[in-house]
Structure 1
Amino acid sequence: MRSTTDAETETPNPSLRHLLDRAILVEQRIRRAVHARQLTDPNPDDAFRGLYLSDETIHRLLDAGRSLDSAAPDDTDAALLAETEARADAAARTGRPTRLSALAHEFGLSALDVEILLIALIPDLDDRFERFYGYLNDDVTRRRPSIGLALGLCGLSAAEAAARAGLSPQAPLRAGGLLLVEEPDRPFLARALRVPDRVTAHLLGDDTPDPRIVDLLAPWQDVSGVGDPAPLARALASGDPLAYLREDQGGAGTALGASALARAGHGVLGLDLERLARDPHPAEAVRILSREARLTSSGLVCGPIDALIRDKPEVIRLVADTPLPVVLVGRAPWDAAWSSRPPLLLHAPRVEPPARAALWSDAYGAPLPADLDLTRLLSPFLLTPDQITRAARGAAQSAALDGGTLHPDHIRAGARAQNAAGLDRLARRIEPAVGWSDLVLPRAPSPSSANSPPAPATATGSWANGACGRAVAGGAA
């Protein structure tokens, strides 16, 4: 393994150089460990290592154990580490902090945590180390570092309580989702360590979200003209981690939350709680969402909480208690049982007609006919910013099908389509029990009663007018 220099990439990349320089330090210790093992190994070329124990291997394990003292960090390693970290600090002072340093800060990792993370990561950077780890594990089938091997490469005893505690489920590496401890049925020291692919990709410079949560993300962004985000931004910047924006029909809660997070210096990760409510494993999804937000220095904007209130209120608490800035959006009053920390309670305003027209025009992306009064046409429709965007795109598609000229009917149809599914779910279809042929008097009325209304019993009984008529006819009334 070798470090990528700026000349090779033509673009300075201190983040990748920092990662590879630290990996090279781990490589040096692994080389020393392999060399030390070869000196005492009676059969270093054994292709079936770990599948059986020869007499020589048994005696070696009983007499010498599996000491990794020679692989522990030494003075040379310390000097190279100091040089590597000095370069990373210099990059941070120029406004380009390395991803490894930023990750260690965000997740609260100690120096030992970073070393263990790198030891587990290195097989995903260079496939030679799969075989090296299989050799050091005394098992050709186990190509990832075990806990015991990782502690040994760090120069620590397997009996050190503090070192073992760093790999417990509550420790930062595992609680933050940065490190997986696999094969739980094995003894503690023999369990394999693995870095999730998403964490590896992030350290290498890839910001593509984890595939597990892609379907849950919503494109809520900073939108101007939908309320004042400054008060919420100040609260988020000063350390208030949780806010609840209560909104009415057509409210701008998600856009206001995204604007506030952006002004507070955070990225924005939108979470659609209606999709989360349908997820078969919401707790797992929330853990991965939390890791994704922390990797990208983002906060969460989540809504609508109304989708979770009735059937999954415990999921609201999982989201609200994540260790990062969270803005929840919904229409229901806040329930204190939804979080362990009190939220900042604010009201999200509606998107006013002029702002609706401006957002619609931006989303449409083409010149509008001069005779269209967009503000007047959209004023009856209470739409959120993302609904306005979809309405504009729907109108553009309809106009294209009709020859390319935008008409008021296209605008209205696009707006109505945003609530059509909801109205259909709320509506109850009624099939009449009678037809036009049934609305005939049984006999011709006399001249004196021609202009008189029929008796109630006749209208509801003899005419069988709906369910009420059937009830009266049957004597149930």
Structure 2
Amino acid sequence: MTPHVPGTVAAAPVPTEVVPAEAADALLPRLSRLRERVALLVEQRSATDPTATDPLRGLYLSEEAVRHLLEPAGPGPGPQEDRGPERGDRLDLLAGRLGLTELDVRILLIALAPDLERTFEPLYGYLNDDVGRRRATTGLALDLCGLPAHQAAARARFHPSAPLSTLSLVVVEEPERPFLSRSLRVPDRLVAHLLGDDTLDAALGGHVRRLRAPVRGERYDKAFLLRLADRLTRVPLPVYLREHRAGDGLACAAAALRRTGRDPLHFTPGGTPVQEPIAELLREARLRDCAIVVSPLPEDPAPLMRALAVEDVAVLFSDPRPYDPHWCDHRDPLVLDAPRLRSGAVEAWATALGEEPSTEARPWAGPADDAVPEPERTAGTVPLPDSSPGFEPSPGFEPPPGFDLAPVVAPYRLGGDRIVRAARAAQNLAAFDGGALTAAHLRLAARQQSASGLERHARRIRPDVGWDDLVLPDKPLLQLHELALRARHRDRVLGEWRLSAGGGRGRGVLGLFAGDSGTGKTLSAEVVAAELGLDLYVVQLSSIVDKYVGETEKNLERIFTEADRTDAVLLFDEADSVFGKRSEVKDAHDRYANMESSYLLQRLESFDGIALLTTNLRANIDEAFTRRLDLVVDFPFPDADQRLALWRHALTHVPRADGIDPRAVARDFELAGGSIRSAVVTAAYTAAGRDAEVTTADLLEGARREYRKAGRLVPGEGTW
């Protein structure tokens, strides 16, 4: 009867890469030699066994069989001769990689045989003296290896701390049975691997993804990655990467492991530590010769970190929290700060979009970049599901006329697979609109990749305005352009050019907008956010101010922490209530108010985001805050010419009657931009009510309404 050796596990999905037959065929000579030893052991036992020809052998014990069992047992086959590995034998490659002894390999093959050839099942049933026990037992494995069952060193190969058990290669089942009659089982995943099928273990579904290889042009600290890659190659000790921003650690790990030639497995914990498939995860990493990257960590990472504290698999943990020594028992990981991803990785965006950039030099220019090839995948393995949807760069990407990629992507601090995902989303948006890719598509896609939890504490505004909507004098307008410039190039100036003041100071951009109500402060913040392609979050004071001591600071810390990791513009409207001057301490209220201000002063030093403050009275802002600001923009009250420009701008989209002229209204009514807009809205409602166009009289009535709201004397009406 010709043995049947399947090429793949029957229940596994169809692999995407066909496995060469050599992986399975290489096991056939080993099985043939094992069959010879099984036959020899059967012959030895049947020669003296009076029940050898009994068809009911193994189901009952006759008197003759009992007398036979009382006689001393004869010796089994001698020690097995090792003929060396077969070509393409995965079993031998695995043994060499995991440090298994020859005895371990033999035991593994004995336990594996019934899963490869059905003819071993009845033979094992005969040798186990029980037709229902068709797997190898510990006693049978020792007999086939020619080892006495009473030898402690031989029995130790089945101990829970022995390699076969700790590496999850062989499972010793039925612990309630006597030691020599316990069954040996090889996990299906290992059987599939030895036969050449590398479909991911079903127990890891939903937990493990393959990290995307870094996009060429992503900007990392090259020296740091080289040192980390060397460390992981020489000593695969655990590494803890503390992230400054979500995604930094994953991107750093993927880039470093790429240089080692190892394919990283991204493990995302899901359930309780008891439910985590730790054994399956470690076995998968050993079978594939991969590293493990764990991110994000659970709330209590101690059980997980202790379970993954192994010496033969490189494990990298990534989390924004500082490392706590209590998370590990005695073997602390190598604790490192993950390098910050720099904004404005133009080449990475261009690569993801399929465009060849015109830059003269890459951030990683040099032979070392091209000398490290992509890790070669073992023939026949099935790729793991990627952490992001598949993306195929568009080779025909042609930027439209006037489209400059650099200033569009400069504000975004995306890394890892987020650039690729944003590029794909932008192309999908362009395809949906039926036109060419534009800056608006890229900005919208990038904002979607920077999901924020700020909405719990702030009101999000998606900017829909531009510079044309601002009517300001030249000086504040130039300062606003400078503010946007600082936001784009802060990583280069403060990071690469090392102009940060040190002392743990961040790379944030802070601006103060001071001026009377309605002079355009909030609108200017929205325009700056629109210029940068970022969302604007207006902090709700009601969500942060708390009557209990210390709670206001906690709420502010949540906002600043979330803003640090989000590409967004933070706006503190009417900032006097939070950033006001410190006063002399006369009672407990003054003391705690000063504590809030002191906390804010410290927190602004380490802030990495973009924050704008608005105030009607600049003198109310503490001077210590002013020193930490990058720009203070004063918004003057508009003169007659600017008021006329504001009236005309507000009437741009409003149906107007012939001969309408806002000159007189702009000259006679001293209104700020916000009040002028309210007056135009009032005039528009009046015209809509009579189903007509807006007239000069409507504008005049709207201006009078604004004067009355402010309690001011209306020109021409006298005292009222």
* TM tier relative to shorter chain: 0.7 to 0.9
Q: Which residue of 1 aligns with 2:324?
A: 335
Whether contact under 8 Å (1:283, 1:315) holds in the other structure is no
1:97-112 map, 5 Å: 98-112=89-103
Q: Which residue of 2 aligns with 1:370?
A: 400
Segment of structure 1 superposing worse, 333-342 or 28-37:
333-342
Q: Structure 1 residue 370: deviation in Å?
A: 2.2
Whether contact under 8 Å (2:242, 2:335) holds in the other structure is no
Whether contact under 8 Å (2:240, 2:333) holds in the other structure is no
Q: Which residue of 2 aligns with 1:140?
A: 131
- Report the CA distance shift for 1:51/1:422 in structure 2 as closer, same or farther (over 3 A): farther
Whether contact under 8 Å (1:250, 1:351) holds in the other structure is no
2:73 aligned with 1:72: no
2:253 aligned with 1:264: no
Which amino acid is 1:22 matched to? R
2:338 to 337, 341, 347: 347
Residue 245 of structure 1 aligns to a residue whose secondary structure is strand
2:295 aligned with 1:303: yes
Whether contact under 8 Å (1:29, 1:72) holds in the other structure is no
Whether contact under 8 Å (2:208, 2:266) holds in the other structure is yes
Q: How many residues align?
A: 407
Q: Which residue of 2 aligns with 1:33?
A: 41
Whether contact under 8 Å (1:30, 1:71) holds in the other structure is no
Which amino acid is 1:72 matched to? G
Whether contact under 8 Å (2:114, 2:121) holds in the other structure is yes
1:55 to 51, 63, 78: 63
Residue 370 of structure 1 aligns to a residue whose secondary structure is coil
1:141-156 map, 5 Å: 141-156=132-147
Whether contact under 8 Å (1:249, 1:382) holds in the other structure is no
2:350 aligned with 1:358: yes
Q: Structure 1 residue 48: deviation in Å?
A: 4.2
1:113-262 map, 5 Å: 113-223=104-214, 224=216, 225-227=218-220, 228=222, 229-239=225-235, 241-249=237-245, 251-262=247-258
Which amino acid is 2:67 matched to? H
- Report the CA distance shift for 1:212/1:428 in structure 2 as closer, same or farther (over 3 A): farther
2:314 to 300, 325, 337: 325
Q: Structure 1 residue 364: deviation in Å?
A: 6.0
Structure 2 unaligned segments of length 5 or more: list them: 6-18, 355-390, 461-539, 543-706, 713-720
- Report the CA distance shift for 1:20/1:226 in structure 2 as closer, same or farther (over 3 A): farther
Which amino acid is 1:370 matched to? P
Q: Structure 1 residue 33: deviation in Å?
A: 1.5
- Report the CA distance shift for 1:312/1:379 in structure 2 as closer, same or farther (over 3 A): same
Whether contact under 8 Å (1:148, 1:190) holds in the other structure is yes
Q: Which residue of 2 aligns with 1:461?
A: none
1:389-468 map, 5 Å: 389-403=420-434, 405-420=436-451, 422=453, 451=710
- Report the CA distance shift for 1:283/1:174 in structure 2 as closer, same or farther (over 3 A): farther
Separation in structure 1 between the aligned mates of residue 233 and residue 130 of structure 2, nearest angstrom: 51
- Report the CA distance shift for 1:358/1:205 in structure 2 as closer, same or farther (over 3 A): same
Residue 65 of structure 2 aligns to a residue whose secondary structure is helix
Cα distance per residue 1:123-167 (max 9 Å; x no partner): 111111011111111111111011111111111111111111110
- Report the CA distance shift for 1:182/1:201 in structure 2 as closer, same or farther (over 3 A): same
Cα distance per residue 1:359-381 (max 9 Å; x no partner): 54255622143243333333333
Which amino acid is 1:208 matched to? T
Q: Structure 1 residue 176: deviation in Å?
A: 0.4
Residue 277 of structure 2 aligns to a residue whose secondary structure is helix
Q: Structure 1 residue 333: deviation in Å?
A: 1.7
Separation in structure 1 between the aligned mates of residue 178 and residue 97 of structure 2, nearest angstrom: 31
Segment of structure 1 superposing worse, 404-413 or 260-269:
404-413
- Report the CA distance shift for 1:54/1:417 in structure 2 as closer, same or farther (over 3 A): farther
Based on CA coordinates, which of the two structures has the bigger radius of gyration?
Answer: 2
Segment of structure 1 superposing worse, 166-175 or 316-325:
316-325
Whether contact under 8 Å (1:240, 1:344) holds in the other structure is no
Which amino acid is 2:30 matched to? R
Q: Which residue of 2 aligns with 1:437?
A: none
Segment of structure 1 superposing worse, 160-169 or 222-231:
222-231
Segment of structure 1 superposing worse, 388-397 or 108-117:
388-397
Cα distance per residue 1:196-227 (max 9 Å; x no partner): 11111111222222111132112213314331
- Report the CA distance shift for 1:63/1:293 in structure 2 as closer, same or farther (over 3 A): same
- Report the CA distance shift for 1:144/1:370 in structure 2 as closer, same or farther (over 3 A): same
Whether contact under 8 Å (1:2, 1:24) holds in the other structure is no
Residue 417 of structure 2 aligns to a residue whose secondary structure is helix
Separation in structure 1 between the aligned mates of residue 453 and residue 57 of structure 2, nearest angstrom: 63
Q: Structure 1 residue 35: deviation in Å?
A: 2.0
Structure 1 unaligned segments of length 5 or more: list them: 5-10, 433-447, 454-477
Whether contact under 8 Å (1:250, 1:383) holds in the other structure is no
Residue 270 of structure 1 aligns to a residue whose secondary structure is strand
Q: Structure 1 residue 290: deviation in Å?
A: 1.1
Q: Percent identity?
A: 39
- Report the CA distance shift for 1:269/1:54 in structure 2 as closer, same or farther (over 3 A): same
Residue 348 of structure 1 aligns to a residue whose secondary structure is coil
Q: Which residue of 2 aligns with 1:290?
A: 282
- Report the CA distance shift for 1:60/1:293 in structure 2 as closer, same or farther (over 3 A): same
Separation in structure 2 between the aligned mates of residue 181 and residue 425 of structure 1, nearest angstrom: 52
RMSD, aligned α-carbons: 3.2
Cα distance per residue 1:436-466 (max 9 Å; x no partner): xxxxxxxxxxxx996469xxxxxxxxxxxxx
Separation in structure 2 between the aligned mates of residue 256 and residue 176 of structure 1, nearest angstrom: 28
Structure 1 runs of 4+ aligned residues shifted over 6 Å read: 1-4, 11-14, 425-430
Cα distance per residue 1:393-428 (max 9 Å; x no partner): 333333333335434333233222234475567779
Which amino acid is 1:373 matched to? D
Segment of structure 1 superposing worse, 144-153 or 398-407:
398-407
